Amino acid sequence: MAWLVAGLGNPGPEYERTPHNLGFLAVDRFAERNGIRITRPECKAWVGVGKANGVDVVVAKPQTFMNLSGVSVRALLDKYALPLESLLLVYDELALPFGQLRIRPKGSAAGHNGVSSVIQSVGSEEFCRLRIGCSPGHKGGKEYLLSPMRRELTKDLDSILDVTAQAIETITAKGAEQAMAIYNRRAQSEPETNG
Q: Is 109 exposed, middle or buried (0-12, 13-18, 19+ CB in 10 A)?
A: middle
Q: Is 98 exposed, middle or buried (0-12, 13-18, 19+ CB in 10 A)?
A: buried
Distance between CA 162 and CA 172 in Å, rounded?
Answer: 16
- Judged by phi (left if over 0) then psi (alpha if -120 to 50, else beta), residue 12 lies in left
- Told to judge if 20 belongs to the known catalytic residues of this protein, a careful annotator would answer yes
Distance between CA 90 and CA 12 in Å, rounded?
Answer: 19
Which of 10, 20, 91, 133 does the annotation list as catalytic?
Answer: 20
Return the number of other C-beta atoms located less than 10 Å from residue 146's C-beta: 15
Cite the active site residues. 20
